[in-house]
Structure 1
Amino acid sequence: MLRQSAAAPWLLCRADGDKDTRCYDVAEQQFHDDHVDFPVDKTCRGSAFGWLFMVQQTPPVFLLNPLTGNQIPLPPLTTFPHVLAYRPEKPGREYVLRYGSGKTYAHDKKYTEKKYIVRTAMSADPDGSSKEEELVVMAICFCSNFSLAFCKPGDAKWTPITHQAVIPFADVAFWKGKFYALDHNGGVYACDLSNPDHPELSLRDNELDLVVSDTRYLVISPDGDELMMVTRHMCVSPENDALFDSKYAAKYNDGEEEKEAVDVVVDEPDDDDGAATTSVVTYWTSKFRVFKLIADDDNWINDGRGWKGWDEVDSIGDFALFVGFNSPTFVSTEEHPELTANSIYFTDDVTYDCYPWWNEKRYAGHDMGIYDLTTGTIQPLSASIRNSPMPVWISSPE
C-alpha cells in the first residue's frame, strides 16, 4: 500500500468565527465551501482514504465519509476488550473498564469516548474494498498496555490480539498485506490475521534512546517499499508556573475504582498548595525526528532475520509529510511546489481534552504547524483555523 498521495490532504476544521466545519486546502491556503458531515459531538480517532473513524459517548462506533455523509457501522464500544459494562443509568460512571493491573474503574462517557481508542488504521479503502482486499480496521486501545483489537464491517464484536508486550503501542499501519504495530521503544510487531480466530503478533524488537513522552508515528515511505518512524517531541508547561505544582496534578484521578469510589478532587483557590483554579497545563510541539527501518532483506517480516533497527535520517527530500490522527501521508513537493519540501505538516492529536481540568480554556486542538526539517523551525498552518473540534487531515478528492 502506497502512502503517497497525488493531492495534498484537506484539513477538516472550522474557520475562525464560523459555526460550520469545512475543508481547508493547505496547498491553496483557502477554505472550500462544500458541505461536510462532521458531527462535533463525536470524536475522531483515525482518518484514511477519505474516511474517518468516529466514536460517540454512547456505544456506537462507525466509519464516516465527511464529503458524502456515508457511514459504515462497526461493532460498538461495549464489545471492545476491557470494556466490561455500559450503564447509562449511572451518570458520570457509565463505562466500567478493566486495566492491565486487573483493577476495574468506572469512567464517564466523555472520558471513554475520547480516551479509550488511541489510534486506528484501515487495510483498504472502504469505497473500493473487495474480496481480494477486504476491509479490516485495527485499533489501539488505552487499557492494558494499549492493546490491539480488530474488526470487519458486519462483525458482532472487536477481536482482541493477545500479546506479551510490556511496552505500550504508539501507532499501527497496514503494509504489504499485514498490520504493523509500533511500540514506544521503537519495537515493531507484525500482526498475522490469516487465522482471525487466533491472530498472532511477532516482535521485531529494538531499543532506541527515545523520550518517553514523544509521540510516535509508523510511516510508509513514499514508494511503499520501506517502513519509517517519525517521533514528535512535545513540551509541556503550566500556563503560569507560579500557580502550578505537582501536588495539584497528583490530586486528579482518572476515574473511580469500582467497589471503592474515589472522588475527583478539584483545586481550591485558597488552599495554599501553589495551585489555583486558573492553572492550566499547556503543550506544544518543538521538533520532529525521522528514522528509516534498516534490514538486510524482507526476511525480517516473516522471521526477524536481517532486522537491524532504525537509522535516523535528516531529510525526506522533495516531500511533505502530513501527520496527526490520520494515517501519515507523503505528498510530492515537485508536483505541488506550493508546499514546503522536507517538511512535516502536523495537527494536534493529544487526548487531554477528556479531562475536566482541561475544559476551562479548551487548549486541546491548538498544536498545529509546519515543521521544517532543514531549519528546525515551525510555521503556523493558518491563523484562521479554530482548534475546536480538533482539526484532522482527510484525503482530498482527486
Structure 2
Amino acid sequence: MDFQEAKSPLLLLSVEEETCFVSFNGEKAVPKLKNSPKDFKSSMRIGSSHGWLILLDETSEPYLLNPFNQSQIQLPEKITFPHINRVTSKCWRGGECLCVEYTSGFTRWFDPTEDKSPLLSIKKAILSANPSTHKDFLVAVIYGENSRIAYCRNGDNEWSAIQDGDSDPYYDIACSDDDDLLYALGKNVSVEIWDLMFPGSSTLKKMGTLYPRMFLETMKDYPGTLYARKFYLVPCAKSGQIFFVVRYVGEFVTSDGKVVYDAEADDDQYPHPMVCPYKTINFHVYCLDTTTLTWKAVKSLNNLALFLGGNHSVSMLVSDDSEVKADSIYFTDDYWERMDEDYLYGGHDMGVFSLKDESVKQFLNIDLQKIKPPPFWLIRESS
C-alpha cells in the first residue's frame, strides 16, 4: 500500500472473549464485532488489507470480510491450492475428519476437534485493492512449508502459483495502489515485481540485490541463538521508494529487557516459574537504490509511519495533527512459529518503535497475557 491520507489505523483486538476495534487513544471504536454469515469467532485471521480481513473458516476455506458493513466474498476452495492434491473427509467419533494429500507426497489427518489452520500453512495474505471500490483485484498469499506465492483474481475458480523456476522461499509480499503490481521479497532480499492482473502475465522485473552491508555487519550483535529476524517489504509507488525492514525479536526477554538463553531463563537464580516471552527489541530500515540495486540504510522516515505485522505492510503520511507519531514503526505480533507454544503469552508482542532514539514503547496498556487470535492492524481507507 502507498502513502496514504487515510483514516487513523484501528487495532483489531480480542481480549476476554470480546473482539473490538481499538483506536490510538485506547477507546473502542466499534464496541463489538458482530458475527458474519460465517462464524467470525471460529475463523482464523491470515491477513488484513485495504480495510478488509482475509480469513480461513473452521474447515480452512478462505474468504474475505469487510468488518464494517459485514460484506463477504468467498475465495477459491482450499483444494485448488497448488500444493494440495486431494482433500477427503469421513465421519469419526461424531465429527468430520479431514485427510489432506499434498503434492510433496506427504499426507496429514485432521481430527474433528483439531485446528485446521495449519492445513494451508499461510504466512501472509494481502489484497491488491479495496474490493468495495475496485472490481478488478487479486488476493496473494505466501503459503506452504517452502513459502511459495499463490494468487487469485476476483472471479477466479482456483489459486495459481507463481512459477519462476526458483525453489527458494519468499519472505514477504506487498502491493502498491498506483500500479496494480505485486512486489515480492525473495532470495538474498532481492525484489521481484509481477503484473498478475491479466492471464499470462509474468515477472516484469527482478532486481537482484545483496543483503545490506549494515545488516551483515550487525549480525554478530543479533545472533540467531538469541534473536529471530523477520523481513518486511514496503513499496511506495508515488515516491518510487521501496523499503526493506528487518525486525529483531529476542527469543527470551526478561521483564527488565535482558535477552537471555532458554537455559538461563530456567536457572535457579531467577524466581520460578519465570516467564520469558519473546519480544521485539529493534528495527533496521533500508531503502532500495534502483540505480545501483543496493540497499541503503535509512536513519529517519521523516513524516512517514510504518504499520507492520500480519497486515498488508503500510506506509502512512503523518500530518501535524495526527495521533500517529511520524518516524515510527507500529507493529503487532506475527511470530507464528512461537505464538502457541505457551499458554501464558503469544500474540502479545506489539508496540511502537521510534527510529529517532531506537526505543520500543507500548501504545496500549495491556499486561503480558495470551492474546488469541493475535491483534491485526486494519486501515480504513478514505472514500
Question: Is residue 26 of structure 2 the alignment partner of residue 29 of structure 1?
Answer: yes
Question: Is residue 137 of structure 2 the alignment partner of residue 153 of structure 1?
Answer: no
Moved beyond 6 Å, runs of 4+:
90-93, 278-281
| Equivalent in the alignment of 1:189 | 192
Q: TM-score, normalised by structure 2?
A: 0.79
Distance in 2, Cα, partners of 1:92 & 1:232 = 38
Shift of 1:117: 1.0
Question: Is residue 202 of structure 2 the alignment partner of residue 218 of structure 1?
Answer: no
Pair 1:238–1:322, CA change in 2 (3 A): closer
| Equivalent in the alignment of 2:374 | 390
SS in 1 for 2:156: coil
| Equivalent in the alignment of 1:313 | 298
| Equivalent in the alignment of 2:262 | 241
After superposition, what is the alpha-carbon deviation per residue over 1:254-293, rounded to whole angstroms, capped at 9, x for unaligned? xxxxxxxxxxxxxxxxxxxxxxxx9998321111111111
Question: Is residue 271 of structure 2 the alignment partner of residue 291 of structure 1?
Answer: no
Counterpart amino acid of residue 85 in structure 2:
L
Pair 1:48–1:313, CA change in 2 (3 A): same
Pair 1:283–1:340, CA change in 2 (3 A): same
After superposition, what is the alpha-carbon deviation per residue over 1:327-363, rounded to whole angstroms, capped at 9, x for unaligned? 12233333444332211110011223676xx2x5152
Distance in 2, Cα, partners of 1:295 & 1:392 = 31
Distance in 1, Cα, partners of 2:46 & 2:283 = 21
| Equivalent in the alignment of 1:117 | 122
| Equivalent in the alignment of 2:269 | none
Residue segments in structure 1 that go unaligned for 5+ positions in a row: 246-277, 297-306
Pair 1:181–1:107, CA change in 2 (3 A): farther
Select the residue among 356, 367, 373 that pairs with 1:374.
Answer: 356
Counterpart amino acid of residue 69 in structure 2:
T
SS in 2 for 1:69: coil
Q: Percent identity?
A: 27
Contact 1:291 1:313 in 2 (8 A): yes
Contact 1:4 1:223 in 2 (8 A): no
SS in 2 for 1:352: coil
Distance in 1, Cα, partners of 2:55 & 2:199 = 24
Distance in 2, Cα, partners of 1:217 & 1:107 = 33
Pair 1:97–1:163, CA change in 2 (3 A): same
Counterpart amino acid of residue 29 in structure 2:
H
1:102-113, aligned counterparts within 5 Å? 102-106=104-108, 108=110, 110=115, 112-113=117-118
Residue segments in structure 2 that go unaligned for 5+ positions in a row: 255-260, 267-272
Counterpart amino acid of residue 168 in structure 2:
I
Shift of 1:200: 4.2
Contact 2:307 2:314 in 1 (8 A): yes
Shift of 1:390: 0.8
Backbone CA RMSD of aligned residues: 3.1
Shift of 1:235: 1.7
After superposition, what is the alpha-carbon deviation per residue over 1:98-139, rounded to whole angstroms, capped at 9, x for unaligned? 4xxx44141546254476111122121100113xxx111111
Pair 1:150–1:329, CA change in 2 (3 A): same
Pair 1:230–1:114, CA change in 2 (3 A): farther
Contact 2:234 2:242 in 1 (8 A): yes
Distance in 2, Cα, partners of 1:68 & 1:85 = 35
Pair 1:115–1:195, CA change in 2 (3 A): closer
Shift of 1:397: 6.2
Counterpart amino acid of residue 13 in structure 1:
L
Shift of 1:199: 4.0
| Equivalent in the alignment of 1:11 | 11
After superposition, what is the alpha-carbon deviation per residue over 1:41-99, rounded to whole angstroms, capped at 9, x for unaligned? 2111211111011012414210111111111110122211112232333777643334x
Counterpart amino acid of residue 50 in structure 2:
F
Pair 1:318–1:281, CA change in 2 (3 A): same
SS in 1 for 2:232: strand
Shift of 1:243: 8.9
Shift of 1:384: 3.6
Distance in 2, Cα, partners of 1:216 & 1:202 = 20
1:1-398, aligned counterparts within 5 Å? 2-15=2-15, 18-26=16-24, 28-37=25-34, 39-89=40-90, 94-98=99-103, 102-106=104-108, 108=110, 110=115, 112-113=117-118, 116-130=121-135, 134-143=136-145, 145-175=146-176, 176-183=179-186, 185-193=188-196, 196-197=199-200, 199-200=202-203, 202-208=205-211, 209=215, 213-221=228-236, 223-237=238-252, 241-242=262-263, 282-296=277-291, 308-352=293-337, 358=341, 360-361=342-343, 363-384=345-366, 387-396=371-380, 398=382
Distance in 2, Cα, partners of 1:185 & 1:224 = 24
Contact 2:6 2:380 in 1 (8 A): no
Pair 1:293–1:380, CA change in 2 (3 A): same
SS in 2 for 1:370: strand
Counterpart amino acid of residue 143 in structure 2:
C
Distance in 1, Cα, partners of 2:155 & 2:67 = 21
After superposition, what is the alpha-carbon deviation per residue over 1:166-186, rounded to whole angstroms, capped at 9, x for unaligned? 431111112323211112621
Question: How many aligned residue pairs are there?
Answer: 343
SS in 2 for 1:4: coil
Distance in 2, Cα, partners of 1:391 & 1:45 = 11
Shift of 1:4: 2.1
